[in-house]
Amino acid sequence: MEQLLLTPPVVFAIVFLFVLLLSTALSRLSYKKKEKREEGTGKAYACGEDVEDHMAQPDYSQFFPFAFFFTVAHVATMMITAIPLESINTLIMAELYIVGVVAGLFILFRR
């Protein structure tokens, strides 16, 4: 019986039921909104201006290269530190990996 209770699906179900019961019990202490909704609470607000049909469209053109650089740099660092230096073959693989990463970053940031 003890083995059955420690299987992942059973533990998940037990924790899920516990959280559900805890949520239900604590919901009685939560803040209740008024039933009546004030006028204008659902409207968009932009620094005191009434905005009609305005959708913000942020520019991510500079974010994605930075995020890609961050990801490549961290993956390269993890790969290089995980390669054992006990043989010449792994050292050559690490050097080729570094050359590939540097070439990829040059391609990413070329003008």
What whole-number distance in Å separates Cα of residue 9 and Cα of residue 90? 41
Domain boundaries in the chain? 60-111
Place of tokens 């070329």: 110
Q: How many CA within 13 A on the CB side of residue 20?
A: 6
For residue range 15-43, what is the model confidence (pLDDT) as tens digits? 999 999 999 999 888 877 666 767 766 66
- The pLDDT value recorded for residue 17 is 97
pTM of the model: 0.41
For the stretch 47-90, pLDDT in tens is 666 556 656 666 777 788 788 888 888 888 888 788 776 777 77
Count Cβ atoms within 10 A of the Cβ of residue 71 and give its class: 0-12 exposed, 13-18 middle, 19 or more buried: exposed
Q: What is the pLDDT of the chain when averaged over all its residues?
A: 79
pLDDT at 51: 58
E strand or H helix at 11: helix 8-26
In this prediction, residue 54 carries a pLDDT of: 59
